[in-house]
């Protein structure tokens, strides 16, 4: 227990609250684990219906959060993440319906074998159990995370950020009303009713009650969760992503991919933050100019800065920076080997890409870069569960265990071994 | 950081030692990640050869540990776990060769798809990276864990128990000498050279240096690791395993399975600890008598105790006890529903089994029991990587994340996503 957690544990109410919610979630999870796909899908459709029926109440609640947020002088970016309108709420309801249409992983067989003694073994997917989600600002996470967890057969305990408290309650009430119309337990989706930080501490310590914690939010939140948690964590950390322009890159692709990977949306975790250019690549200036023309600030190493007066010199810090903004750092490297060394030293192991027409170079890059997603001739902005055909995502896992890269329904399950015998005893 | 860890971190040497070992392991892991299967297999064969060539030195070292152990008045069971002889050492070398023959999971494709925009996605298995193994007494773990980790492409940091220090060093020296004869890096398998507990604390905090900690040992060790670790842990906890004799069980199978599941080897984690008997089962006394005849102490609930004067009354504690001994607790239950409720309340979620000829009852048991391994008409003693056809095991994971049940090569890998494009940008 950390010093901080120790202080928190002095608040018995939070522990009692989470113990009670956890016990109810566990009971719900038992029922959800064997709930038929059709029952889960029906619940999600009912929840989507309630989100639409209760649109006025949800948007009213969101206006209260927005007013509080403006009074609290939240940044424009945070206010934008917080804000709901008819179109955004409709998109949330649509996403719920889309999850209802996904293939249910629960019960699917991963593999099977028969042993020489006749024992028939199979591994089948089962839900993780009780999933705790701790998140900030975006009220859509309340619906997205709840329904992904639920569709994979899990009970979900949600703890949203204070800034979205009214929106989250209204969305949760709609989900609960939807569930109530179907046979699934009301405790399948619970929202922590208090906003004090002690409840987060209690969730992080709730071994045996919560099976996994998924933090969704900024670096501070994820770092706190990783530092304090006793419950296993599926973390989504930064995307310090690289695009390497090999000497054998097609120049047209190189320019187009560099601009898209950096500038399509600069605030997403799949955005490229550093571009590495092979010294052998013939047209580096075209890439730099295209980025600048697209409105990107370019910070370059000495060699890159020498190419254009519009390039700012990069500091050592720039190579470890997730800008999430219209800023890129660019370095010249000595071929593929130089690129691999730079990526090994600076990548956050989220998504890294190579642009080249040299198949052997691409194969080596794909084999040697140790990131959750490694790409050849594609924009790093494709790092997304929807783009990967998963239908949705609860985040992009940057750890190495359990699940890596975009996490959707399968990542919210585990497996068990079934052994069918005819009376075999072990000699 | 726990209070205990805080004290430990006051020993800077341990942190510096583990930081150095971790950095060398990381460098080795990079090479191992792309090492061909043949190179890894050759290294394992060379290591097995060295274990045989150095048998005298290893057995001498083991005699020192045994003498120290006797002086320290270790229990007979601990001394037996510690003891090596020609046959045991030969078995260790044979196990190393068996692992060399297993299918290499690294590079295998889990699944693939092509997106409508032409992007080709595949998930391929990659090593976990640097695996830390913290274990007690059994010197064979030094070889078993090292070669399983290595064959799956990982660098391994071993920290064995003080009682086996000389044996572990001798075995490690043999493995290192084997590696040195092949092209694999010497730092692929490192043994922590000091025995103070601060080194364990440093390993548990080595985020970024060690990717996963696998504790192998008693409850105290595993609990300490789970409590202190900042690095993800793949834990193997107790096997409080149940055998449920359904009303529709075949009486001959029921007796044979009960005796085998409990008594074949009582000290293994797959041993049955509690037998549940359906009140509708016609011949409970035959099961009790067979167990007693096999030398087992039977502790029963009121109804079981009423059946035989040889049954001791069970206390409440008996239903949560991993005896690892010739003792069993037996309760009468109200059919399958009663059995499921008892198992839900008391199982450690390792292995639970049903004996029945009723297919519907078996299906419900397999679906509803939430344990890593669920069996029908088979002895819980089959809970073992070798028996499951995995060739070996590093343990039986009782957590829910990453891997569950017997963990062998596949459980020592993760995956990455490869995305192959032709210049696609995201709209």
The reported pLDDT for the residue numbered A237 is 75
- Which residue in this structure is represented by tokens 């395993």? B241
Angle, helix B37-53 to helix B165-180, in steps of 10 degrees: 130
Contact of B250 with chain A, judged by CB distance below 8 Å, is answered with yes
Question: What 8-state DSSP symbol labels residue B233?
Answer: B
The span from the CA of A72 to the CA of A141, in Å, is 22
Contact of A345 with chain B, judged by CB distance below 8 Å, is answered with no
Å between B260 CA and nearest CA of chain A: 6
**Which residues does chain B have within 8 Å of residue A226's beta carbon, measured at their own beta carbons?**
230
Of A121, A382, A401, the CB nearest to B212: A401
Give the containing element (helix H, strand E) for B243. Answer: strand B241-245
CATH number, domain containing residue B50: 3.40.605.10
The reported pLDDT for the residue numbered A218 is 81
The span from the CA of B369 to the CA of B344, in Å, is 7
> In chain A, what percentage of residues exceed pLDDT 90?
84
The span from the CA of A271 to the CA of A321, in Å, is 12
- Check whether B36 has a pLDDT greater than 60: yes
| CB atoms B419 and A376 under 8 Å | yes
| CB atoms A119 and B226 under 8 Å | no
For residue B212, which of B159, B172, B157, B160 has the smallest C-alpha distance?
B157
Å between A348 CA and nearest CA of chain B: 11
Q: What's the domain count of chain A?
A: 2
Q: Would you say residue B211 lies in a domain?
A: yes
Give the containing element (helix H, strand E) for A203. Answer: helix A197-204
**Which residues does chain B have within 8 Å of residue A33's beta carbon, measured at their own beta carbons?**
368, 370
**Which residues does chain A have within 8 Å of residue B416's beta carbon, measured at their own beta carbons?**
370-374, 404-405
Q: Would you say residue A397 lies in a domain?
A: no
Of B257, B370, B419, the CB nearest to A373: B419
| CB atoms A415 and B422 under 8 Å | no
Å between A107 CA and nearest CA of chain B: 9
Mean pLDDT along residues B146-152: 96
| CB atoms B400 and A211 under 8 Å | yes
Chain A residue with the nearest C-alpha to that of B230: A227
Instruction: Pull the structure tokens for residue A210.
Output: 């919560």
B228 with B257, same domain: the answer is no
- Check whether A158 has a pLDDT greater than 50: yes
For residue B415, which of A39, A255, A407, A223 has the smallest C-alpha distance?
A407
Q: Would you say residue B390 lies in a domain?
A: no
Å between B54 CA and nearest CA of chain A: 33
Tens of pLDDT, residue by residue over A379-420, are: 999 999 989 989 888 889 988 999 999 999 999 999 999 999
Contact of A320 with chain B, judged by CB distance below 8 Å, is answered with no
- Check whether A197 has a pLDDT greater than 80: yes
Confidence of residue A6 (pLDDT cuts 50, 70, 90): very low
Chain B residue with the nearest C-alpha to that of A362: B420
Sheet (strand B120-127) strand order: A312-313, A297-300, A327-333, A272-278, A241-245, A351-355, A373-378, B413-424, B120-127, B109-114
Tens of pLDDT, residue by residue over B83-106, are: 999 999 999 999 999 999 999 999
Confidence of residue A5 (pLDDT cuts 50, 70, 90): very low
| CB atoms A425 and B260 under 8 Å | yes
Q: Would you say residue B160 lies in a domain?
A: yes
Tens of pLDDT, residue by residue over A333-355, are: 999 999 999 999 999 999 999 99
Confidence of residue B12 (pLDDT cuts 50, 70, 90): low
**Secondary structure class of B104 (helix, strand, coil):** coil
- Check whether B3 has a pLDDT greater than 60: no
For residue A375, which of B120, B123, B419 has the smallest C-alpha distance?
B419
B315 with B229, same domain: the answer is no
For residue B409, which of B32, B142, B104 has the smallest C-alpha distance?
B104
Beta strands per DSSP E along A152-198: 155-159, 189-191
The reported pLDDT for the residue numbered A3 is 34
| CB atoms B34 and A260 under 8 Å | no
> In chain B, what percentage of residues exceed pLDDT 90?
84
Mean pLDDT along residues B39-68: 97
Tens of pLDDT, residue by residue over B236-263, are: 778 999 999 999 999 999 999 999 999 9
The reported pLDDT for the residue numbered A126 is 97
Mean pLDDT along residues B64-91: 94
Mean pLDDT, rounded, of chain B:
93
Chain B residue with the nearest C-alpha to that of A233: B232
**Which residues does chain A have within 8 Å of residue B230's beta carbon, measured at their own beta carbons?**
226-227
More confident residue, A297 or A195: A297
Contact of B388 with chain A, judged by CB distance below 8 Å, is answered with yes
A109 with A228, same domain: the answer is yes
Å between A166 CA and nearest CA of chain B: 33
Of B372, B400, B416, the CB nearest to A128: B400
Å between B300 CA and nearest CA of chain A: 24
- Check whether A2 has a pLDDT greater than 70: no
The reported pLDDT for the residue numbered B183 is 87
The span from the CA of A107 to the CA of A152, in Å, is 10
Angle, helix A86-100 to helix A37-53, in steps of 10 degrees: 170
Give B 255-284 residues with CB within 8 A of chain A: 256-257, 260-261, 264
Chain A residue with the nearest C-alpha to that of B258: A425
| CB atoms A405 and B382 under 8 Å | no
- Check whether A164 has a pLDDT greater than 60: yes
A224 with A249, same domain: the answer is no
The reported pLDDT for the residue numbered B391 is 83
B7 contact partners, CB below 8 Å, separation of at least 6: none
Chain A residue with the nearest C-alpha to that of B108: A367
Contact of A64 with chain B, judged by CB distance below 8 Å, is answered with no
A90 with A218, same domain: the answer is yes
Chain A residue with the nearest C-alpha to that of B112: A388
Contact of A375 with chain B, judged by CB distance below 8 Å, is answered with yes
Contact of B386 with chain A, judged by CB distance below 8 Å, is answered with no
- Which residue in this structure is represented by tokens 């001791």? B312
Residue B315: Cβ-neighbour burial (10 angstroms; 0-12, 13-18, 19+): exposed
Q: Give the helix, strand, coil percentages of chain A, each rounded to 5.
A: 45, 20, 35
Confidence of residue A84 (pLDDT cuts 50, 70, 90): very high
| CB atoms B373 and A250 under 8 Å | no
Contact of B226 with chain A, judged by CB distance below 8 Å, is answered with yes
Confidence of residue A10 (pLDDT cuts 50, 70, 90): very low
Angle, helix A140-151 to helix A165-180, in steps of 10 degrees: 30
Cβ(B311)–Cβ(B353) below 8 Å: no
The reported pLDDT for the residue numbered B35 is 95
B207 with B277, same domain: the answer is no
A44 with A187, same domain: the answer is yes
B327 with B297, same domain: the answer is yes
**Buried/exposed B207-244: b ≥16 CB within 10 Å, e otherwise:** eebbbbbbbbbeeebbebbbebbbbbbbbbbbbbbbbb
> In chain B, what percentage of residues exceed pLDDT 70?
97
Interface test with B, best of A235, A373, A400 (most B CBs within 10 A): A400
Instruction: Pull the structure tokens for residue A166.
Output: 């009214």
Confidence of residue A196 (pLDDT cuts 50, 70, 90): confident
Residue B105: Cβ-neighbour burial (10 angstroms; 0-12, 13-18, 19+): buried
The reported pLDDT for the residue numbered B136 is 87
Secondary structure of A256-310 as H, E, C letters:
HHHHHHHHCCCCCCCCEEEEEEECCCCCHHHHHHHHHHCCCEEEECHHHHCCCCC
What's the angle, vertex CA A400, arms to CA A397 and CA A405, rounded to 5? 30
Q: Would you say residue A387 lies in a domain?
A: no
The reported pLDDT for the residue numbered B223 is 85
**Which residues does chain B have within 8 Å of residue A367's beta carbon, measured at their own beta carbons?**
34
Q: Would you say residue B393 lies in a domain?
A: no
- Check whether A11 has a pLDDT greater than 60: no
| CB atoms B420 and A211 under 8 Å | no
Domain span at residue A22 reads 3-237+406-418
The span from the CA of B210 to the CA of B15, in Å, is 13
Contact of B423 with chain A, judged by CB distance below 8 Å, is answered with yes
**Which residues does chain B have within 8 Å of residue A414's beta carbon, measured at their own beta carbons?**
400-401, 404
| CB atoms B250 and A423 under 8 Å | yes
B112 strand-pairing partners: B122
Give me the interface pTM, i.e. the ipTM. Answer: 0.92
CB-defined contacts A:B, below 8 A: 200
Of B252, B260, B402, the CB nearest to A401: B402
Angle, helix A37-53 to helix A140-151, in steps of 10 degrees: 160
Cβ(A171)–Cβ(A191) below 8 Å: no
Tens of pLDDT, residue by residue over B171-225, are: 999 999 999 999 899 999 999 998 888 999 999 999 889 999 999 888 888 888 9
Interface test with B, best of A115, A250, A360, A378 (most B CBs within 10 A): A378
Q: How many helices (H) and strands (E) does chain A have?
A: 15, 16
CB atoms within 10 A of CB B325: 14
Mean pLDDT, rounded, of chain A:
93
- Check whether A299 has a pLDDT greater than 80: yes
**Which residues does chain B have within 8 Å of residue A119's beta carbon, measured at their own beta carbons?**
378, 382, 387
Q: Which of A7-21, B84-98, B182-196, B284-298 is predicted with the least confidence, judged by mean pLDDT?
A: A7-21
Confidence of residue A7 (pLDDT cuts 50, 70, 90): very low
Residue A129: Cβ-neighbour burial (10 angstroms; 0-12, 13-18, 19+): buried
Of B234, B371, B424, the CB nearest to A416: B371
| CB atoms B375 and A420 under 8 Å | yes
Mean pLDDT along residues B260-273: 95
The reported pLDDT for the residue numbered A12 is 62
The span from the CA of A273 to the CA of A346, in Å, is 11
B248 with B342, same domain: the answer is yes
| CB atoms B400 and A367 under 8 Å | no
The span from the CA of B202 to the CA of A28, in Å, is 39
> In chain A, what percentage of residues exceed pLDDT 70?
97
The span from the CA of B370 to the CA of B348, in Å, is 10
Confidence of residue B297 (pLDDT cuts 50, 70, 90): very high
The span from the CA of A58 to the CA of A45, in Å, is 18
Of A33, A234, A389, the CB nearest to B113: A389
Q: Would you say residue A400 lies in a domain?
A: no
Give B 99-138 residues with CB within 8 A of chain A: 113, 115, 119, 121, 126, 128-129
Give the containing element (helix H, strand E) for B408. Answer: none
Q: Would you say residue B401 lies in a domain?
A: no
B171 with B43, same domain: the answer is yes
- Check whether A278 has a pLDDT greater than 80: yes
Cβ(B170)–Cβ(B146) below 8 Å: no
CATH number, domain containing residue A323: 3.40.309.10
Of A34, A256, A399, the CB nearest to B425: A256
B34 with B76, same domain: the answer is yes
Contact of B68 with chain A, judged by CB distance below 8 Å, is answered with no
Tens of pLDDT, residue by residue over B352-393, are: 999 999 999 999 999 999 999 999 999 999 999 989 989 888
Confidence of residue B8 (pLDDT cuts 50, 70, 90): very low
B260 with B122, same domain: the answer is no
Q: Which of A8-17, A119-128, B22-31 is predicted with the least confidence, judged by mean pLDDT?
A: A8-17
């Amino acid at each position: 227990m950390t010093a901080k957690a120790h202080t928190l544990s002095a608040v018995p109410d939070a522990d009692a609250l989470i113990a009670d919610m956890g016990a109810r979630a566990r009971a719900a999870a038992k029922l959800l684990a064997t709930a038929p796909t059709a029952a889960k899908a029906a619940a999600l459709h009912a929840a989507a219906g309630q989100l639409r029926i209760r649109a006025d109440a949800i948007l009213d609640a969101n206006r209260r959060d927005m007013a509080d947020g403006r009074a609290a002088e939240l940044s424009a970016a945070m206010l934008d993440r917080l804000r709901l309108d008819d179109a955004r709420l409709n998109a949330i309801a649509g996403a719920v319906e889309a999850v209802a249409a996904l293939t249910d992983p629960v019960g699917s067989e991963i593999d099977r074998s028969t042993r020489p003694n006749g024992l028939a073994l199979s591994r089948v997917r089962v839900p993780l159990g009780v999933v705790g989600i701790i998140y900030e600002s975006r009220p859509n996470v309340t619906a997205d995370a709840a329904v992904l967890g639920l569709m994979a057969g899990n009970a979900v305990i949600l703890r949203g950020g204070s800034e979205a408290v009214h929106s989250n309650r209204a969305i949760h009430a709609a989900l609960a009303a939807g569930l109530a119309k179907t046979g699934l337990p009301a405790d399948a989706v619970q929202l922590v009713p208090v906003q004090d930080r002690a409840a987060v501490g209690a969730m992080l310590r709730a071994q045996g009650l919560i099976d996994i914690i998924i933090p969704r939010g900024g670096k501070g939140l994820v770092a706190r969760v990783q530092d304090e948690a006793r419950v296993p964590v599926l973390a989504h950390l930064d995307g310090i992503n690289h695009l390497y322009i090999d000497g054998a890159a097609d120049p047209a692709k190189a320019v187009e991919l560099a601009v898209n990977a950096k500038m399509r949306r600069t605030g997403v975790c799949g955005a490229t933050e550093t571009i590495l250019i092979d010294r052998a690549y013939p047209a580096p200036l075209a890439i730099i100019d295209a980025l600048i023309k697209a409105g990107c600030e370019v910070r370059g190493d000495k060699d890159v800065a020498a190419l254009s007066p519009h390039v700012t010199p990069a500091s050592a810090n720039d190579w470890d920076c997730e800008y999430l903004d219209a800023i890129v750092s660019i370095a010249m490297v000595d071929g593929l080997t130089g690129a691999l060394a730079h990526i090994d030293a600076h990548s956050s192991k989220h998504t890294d890409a190579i642009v080249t027409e040299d198949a052997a170079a691409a194969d080596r890059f794909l084999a040697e870069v140790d990131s959750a997603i490694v790409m050849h001739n594609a924009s790093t902005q494709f790092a997304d569960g929807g783009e990967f055909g998963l239908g949705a995502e609860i985040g992009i896992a940057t750890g190495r265990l359990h699940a890596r890269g975009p996490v959707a329904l399968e990542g919210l399950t585990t497996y068990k071994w079934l052994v069918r015998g005819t009376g075999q005893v072990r000699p």
